[in-house]
Amino acid sequence: MNKMAMAALGLGAAYLMRNKNARNKLMKQVESFTGTFSPKNESHSNS
């Protein structure tokens, strides 16, 4: 089971590294879930 979990994590990481849109979508979901924003987003909201 541990090998399968590591394989799934590896495949997910490889997918996110190759697909910028998927990476951005995931980051937006994480930000909305945690309620935090990256410094890049803060500078856009302040201007």
pTM for this entry: 0.50
The structure tokens listed for 16 are 């996110």
End-to-end CA distance of the chain: 49
CA–CA separation, 28 vs 19, rounded Å? 15
CA–CA separation, 32 vs 24, rounded Å? 12
In 3D, which of 4, 31, 8 has the Cα closest to residue 41?
31
Residue 42 clears pLDDT 70, i.e. is over it: no
For 6-41, write each residue's pLDDT tens digit.
Answer: 999 999 999 888 999 998 998 899 888 887 655 555
Residue 45 clears pLDDT 60, i.e. is over it: no
The full set of domain ranges for the chain reads 2-46
pLDDT for 18: 92
Residue 47 clears pLDDT 50, i.e. is over it: no
pLDDT for 39: 57
